[in-house]
Amino acid sequence: MGTHYFFALPIQPELRQMLEQVSREIDLDLFKHIVYPEDYHVTLAFLGDASEEQLSSLHEQLSDVVTTFPPFELKAERIAAFGREKKPRVLYASVQINAWLDKLHRAVVHACSKSGFIVDQREYRPHITLAKKWRDSNKEITPDWPTLICDSQEVSCLNLYKVAPTEKPRYQVVRTYAFNKL
């Protein structure tokens, strides 16, 4: 397996701390993989394996694209889950989609497609993964998730990450693309 890459928005320390605190109120031991707070992010596009040529092409395209974006607000809304209610596949904090986030997602997906990547075409559901992969098929959880109380955070950049599965944190920033600070 080669090195996998993805584009995502980083989570600022204040929001990260709030999500870490909320995570302590949930029995995350029921999941096989608990995401390290330093790895919290909002994925825009998963690339998988990538050649240097593809990454170079993406860099050229995204360097121009991000200059058209001002910093914008990102807000976590609530704790939710993908999969079965009592045995979820993924536990996450949903993120409110706004015009800038939607436009950025579409621009990143377009750049990825132009560089030869096959990008997920499902409806974009921005979120911050907290835990994934249900551990014990004999156990169930009562989905009475704690309430998120937080302010929004400003997003002023987009990161290209590579996955380092044996390291902590496991997502490492390869390149940062700063937005235009009008």
Candidates 21, 35, 16, 122; CA nearest to 74 is: 16
CA distances from 161 to 77, 98, 122 (A): 24, 23, 21
> What DSSP designation does 11 have?
P
4, 33, 41, 105: the active-site residue: 41
Provide the sign of the torsion angle of the four alpha carbons 179, 113, 42, 6, taken in this order.
negative
59, 105, 110, 127: the active-site residue: 127
For residues 131 and 65, the answer to whether their CB atoms sit within 8 Å is no
One-letter amino acid for residue 5 of the chain? Y
Active site residue 41: yes
DSSP string, 26-55: S-GGGEEEEPPGGG-EEEEEEEEE--HHHH
Q: Is 5 exposed, middle or buried (0-12, 13-18, 19+ CB in 10 A)?
A: buried
Active site residue 33: no
Catalytically active residues, by annotation: 41, 127
